[in-house]
Amino acid sequence: MAKRWKIEQGEGGRDKLLLIDGNSIVFRAFYAMPPLTNAAGLQTNAVFGFTTMLLKVLEEERPTHLIVAFDAGKTVFRHEGFADYKGGRQKTPPELSEQFPLLKELLDAFSISRYEIPGYEADDIIGTLTKQAEQAGIEAVVVSGDKDMLQLASERTSVLLTRKGVSETERYTPAAIGDKYGLTPLQIIDLKGLMGDASDNIPGIPGVGEKTALKLLAEYGSVEEVLAHAGEIKGKLGENVRSNMDSAKMSKELATILREIPVERNWEQLAWEGAEQPALLAALRKLEFKSLIERLALSEGEADAASVAAAAAAYETVRVSDAADWSALAEALPHAESFILDANGDNPHQSEGIGIAIAARERVYALPFEALLSAPEAAPLRDWLADAGAPKTGYDLHRAELVLARHGLELRGQAFCCSLAAYLLDPTDADPSLVGLLAKAGLPGIASDESAYGKGAKFRVPEPEALAAHLASKADAVRRLASRQAAELEEAGMKPLFYELEQPLAIILADMEKQGIVVQAEALEELGKDFQARIGQIVSEIYRIAGFEFNIGSTRQLGEVLFDKLGLPVVKKTKTGYSTDAEVLEKLEPYHEIVRLILHYRQLAKLQSTYIEGLLKEIRPEDGKIHTYYRQTIAATGRLSSQYPNLQNIPIRMEEGRQIRKAFVPSEPNWQILAADYSQIELRVLAHISGDEGLKEAFRLEMDVHTKTAMDVFGVSAEQVDGNMRRSAKAVNFGIVYGISDYGLSQNLGITRKEAAAFIEQYFAAFPGVRRYMDDIVAQAKKDGYVKTMLERRRYLPDIRSSNFNLRSFAERTAMNTPIQGTAADIIKLAMVRMAEALKDKGLKSRMLLQVHDELVFEVPPDELDTMKKLVPEVMASALQLDVPLKAEVSAGVNWYEAK
């Protein structure tokens, strides 16, 4: 039986029912959490926010029974009496709707009951179940973001309302409701009847807000009594009450949660006994919620003991310790089939080696890392590692090279890397570990690293015999896996992509990482002082305008200043008050100068904390350099990722962000930094792949493509294109590349979704080749189950034929944009390989230091500057032949800033 993950439940054997309002919580999570995607490009922020809330409530409430209720559809019984019920709501953004299937899959993995009934809302399911629980004498806890749920509170039922997004909740009992509102739980219905609810389009009585409604209920007690005494209410309020009596009655009825609907869930079906660990681990891996996997202490799981034993029986493990063992290892090296190097820590620039193993024929030789470093007898092994003529097959050879380099050893001859091959064969594989790859291939398994070494504070290197056995099992697993992967790469037509691009690139990246780039700490510190001074000036100006000092970082205090004191229009409210997120402030910027200052304050504060202080921590004292770590196997599009630190996220859209690049300088006196950046590479790829004549013409004539788009979409001449037209055209150009929705474009341009949808249609009318390409690529993806880049890089789309609309729609958008983004990623990688070859062939001293998106950064001696200014753009422009010219713009300077 599979191991289960659960939380200790109940107190004293008492049952407790936890009921979660699924739609309410997931909506709040979507708007509260920053954007988050997994490697497959799926939006996951709402699911992540919901799951963190779920775990927090599980830990605090420890329920024995559990259900998540969802609305079943758009039409419910309340529409029969009021057709405009919830009529003001906008269509759910696809970025959110496509997350509902993911959430439901995750709930299934948690073994949590989920339920919906056509014609009813989640509120009614929860209302009915809480009534049944009360009648049975069972404690119930409701979790929601909707104040309507307060009407369900009783002696046995409490309501947790979310605050600050979904991270915090506030408990309401009848006493708490009385303290806060002066009402009983059932009077919450009367409150809504009088004041209405804009989010549900419940009208209430015009001019009656919460304050007025509470005053009326304190005097009369209910909607019915207010209406019965309507003649006594004076002034405009009395007129409104008398004119809207039917509306008040209907509003109360709409706000009333039903508590006797046909719920077909018995008590046994709601029992929660935890989740099966393998299923939960797989679901969290698919979503790439690594922090939650760690929080729940979910291990990799042990491979089947019989499978591990069967694999180990096929070879002899030699724990290298005496002269005879060393001699045997030296003789076996020419016949080595694979090797493995284990090290601790995530950052290979800081990792300590643990051990190494070499598989050769019927034996696997294993030894601790210290022996490799210090034993005189290890000289043949060290020579073999550094021998470019001795081919190496391994797992994550890139990381192995960096770990060895840190200890003064060299790795050359990298021939086949299993982790890199696995990435090409399935870039969205949820478990690309050796354990996962063996299981997926149906090969005999091995024990996980976690079971061998432990994790976190529990990490330890096992005894020599156990260490040797684990290392040997991994080296043997690599050789068994590699032969199969090589055949699969050939069958998929990806041999050139692997052997001519990705495998050579891994070596180039390691050389760049070992080289590093000089970052002047004093320049960063001076810039930090300048930022601090500017922050101080901005804060003083904000205080002057506000008329008093307050905590700018406090949402509540800032909201009071903006909306109560200054009277700015309220854009969005949360359950706890005004929203002051970036989206809200950007919409308010035209209304008052203080908003621009607050936005600038936030930008500078982030630059100071994340980039000035963050980069200073990464400068190595021994060489004054930053050594980033490029991840080749993360992004499903083929793009590189940068870590420790991430140099691809330094903000350059604002001048202060660009200033940070001044600290990046050459490592040699009088040398210069040279930067070359592809011009609109993804749009050029789109022009080639789609074959659209209008797009191709723009690039062939070297027109500004955004101006060209604006001309064709708006039907104007180049001279008539204004800044707003070009900005809109640019947003839709790049939106098409990234599969943007009408919701996404509306947010970017500050227009309605209807206008955004019309704009996209105008674009397709102007560029019919793009529409034709998108239709064709989706049809091809449905036939093949995957899409390809021009270099045969594949991305599988298992949901492309899904019956679920949201999952299928996301897969279709992915099918459209992957060939474009993936080919662009392939081109910059090709340029790097060709540049490395050119530098070597020409005997140049110039060094390639960084790759940042579509930009390559070099340090160049003065006597090679003219040569490099010509060579680099030529190599980049010729990386791949397209129907439109590739173009790279090059510049140089004393630092990275001056080179741009």
What are the backbone dihedrals phi and psi of residue 24, each rounded to the nearest 5 degrees, phi first?
Answer: -60, -50
Backbone φ/ψ region at 256: left (φ over 0), alpha (ψ -120 to 50), beta: beta
- Using the predicted structure, report yes or no on whether residue 148 has a pLDDT greater than 90: no
Cα distances (Å, whole numbers) of residue 368 to 342, 377, 468: 9, 13, 8
Share of the chain above pLDDT 70, in %: 94
Q: Are the C-beta atoms of residues 300 and 448 closer than 8 Å to each other? A: yes
| pLDDT for residue 813 | 87
Q: Which range scores top for mean pLDDT: 22-36, 791-805, 885-899? A: 885-899
| pLDDT for residue 28 | 86
| pLDDT for residue 390 | 96
Q: How far apart are CA 673 and CA 890, in angstroms?
A: 11
Q: Do strands 625-626 and 664-665 pair parallel, antiparallel, or not at all (unpaired)?
A: unpaired
Q: How far apart are CA 563 and CA 554, in angstroms?
A: 14
What residue spans in the chain does CATH classification 1.20.1060.10 cover? Answer: 518-626
Cα distances (Å, whole numbers) of residue 167 to 57, 68, 556: 10, 18, 16
- Using the predicted structure, report yes or no on whether residue 588 has a pLDDT greater than 90: no
- Coil, helix or strand at residue 176: helix
**Pure H helices in 92-200:** 94-97, 100-109, 122-135, 174-181, 187-195
515: Cβ contacts below 8 Å, ≥ 6 apart:
847, 849
pLDDT in tens, 493-538: 999 999 999 999 999 999 999 999 999 999 999 999 999 999 999 9
| pLDDT for residue 573 | 67
| pLDDT for residue 11 | 52
Smallest CA-to-CA distance from 317 within 379, 372, 360, 375 is with 360
**Pure H helices in 550-592:** 555-559, 582-588
Q: How confident is the model at residue 340 (pLDDT cuts 50, 70, 90)?
A: very high
Spell 769-790 as b/e; 16+ CB within 10 A means b.
bbbebbeebbebbeeeebbbbb
Please give the CATH number for the structural domain made up of 518-626: 1.20.1060.10
DSSP code for 51? H
| pLDDT for residue 295 | 83
pLDDT in tens, 635-676: 888 999 999 999 888 888 788 889 999 999 999 999 999 999
Pick the more confident residue, 216 or 371: 371
Cα distances (Å, whole numbers) of residue 764 to 417, 754, 770, 843, 861: 43, 16, 7, 49, 48
Share of the chain above pLDDT 90, in %: 48
Smallest CA-to-CA distance from 683 within 509, 535, 862, 827 is with 827
Over residues 815-844, mean pLDDT: 96
Range in 196-210, 265-279, 500-514 with the lowest mean pLDDT: 196-210
Pick the more confident residue, 146 or 477: 477
- Using the predicted structure, report yes or no on whether residue 165 has a pLDDT greater than 80: no
What residue spans in the chain does CATH classification 3.30.420.10 cover? Answer: 301-516
- Using the predicted structure, report yes or no on whether residue 10 has a pLDDT greater than 60: no
| pLDDT for residue 256 | 84
- Using the predicted structure, report yes or no on whether residue 469 has a pLDDT greater than 80: yes
Strands (E) located in 604-703: 625-626, 629-631, 641-643, 664-665, 672-678
Determine the residue type at 457: A
The CA angle 577-563-597, to the nearest 5 degrees, is: 110
- Using the predicted structure, report yes or no on whether residue 88 has a pLDDT greater than 50: no
H/E stretch holding 660: none
Q: How far apart are CA 134 and CA 607, in angstroms?
A: 54
Q: Which range scores top for mean pLDDT: 469-473, 553-557, 653-657? A: 469-473
**Distance of alpha carbon 875 from its chain centroid, rounded?**
33
| pLDDT for residue 689 | 95
Determine the residue type at 740: I
- Using the predicted structure, report yes or no on whether residue 246 has a pLDDT greater than 50: yes
- Using the predicted structure, report yes or no on whether residue 303 has a pLDDT greater than 70: no
2.40.50.100, 3.30.300.130, 3.40.50.1010, 3.40.309.10: CATH of 1-180+264-294: 3.40.50.1010
| pLDDT for residue 198 | 65
Q: How confident is the model at residue 424 (pLDDT cuts 50, 70, 90)?
A: very high
Please give the CATH number for the structural domain made up of 186-257: 1.10.150.20
Over residues 123-151, mean pLDDT: 90
The CA angle 432-437-438, to the nearest 5 degrees, is: 155
What residue spans in the chain does CATH classification 1.10.150.20 cover? Answer: 186-257
Q: Superfamily assignment of 301-516 in CATH?
A: Ribonuclease H-like superfamily/Ribonuclease H (3.30.420.10)
Q: How far apart are CA 96 and CA 82, in angstroms?
A: 27
Q: How far apart are CA 192 and CA 254, in angstroms?
A: 9
Compute the 3-state secondary structure of the chain and give helix, strand, coil in percent, each to the nearest 5.
55, 15, 30
Taking all residues of the chain, what is their mean pLDDT, rounded to a whole number? 87
Over residues 145-165, mean pLDDT: 87
Residue recorded with tokens 């021998």? 387
Task: Provide the CB-side half-sphere exposure for 97 (13 A, CA).
Answer: 16
Q: Which range scores top for mean pLDDT: 74-88, 267-281, 481-495? A: 481-495
- Using the predicted structure, report yes or no on whether residue 833 has a pLDDT greater than 90: yes
Q: How confident is the model at residue 200 (pLDDT cuts 50, 70, 90)?
A: low
| pLDDT for residue 308 | 73
Q: How far apart are CA 415 and CA 338, in angstroms?
A: 10
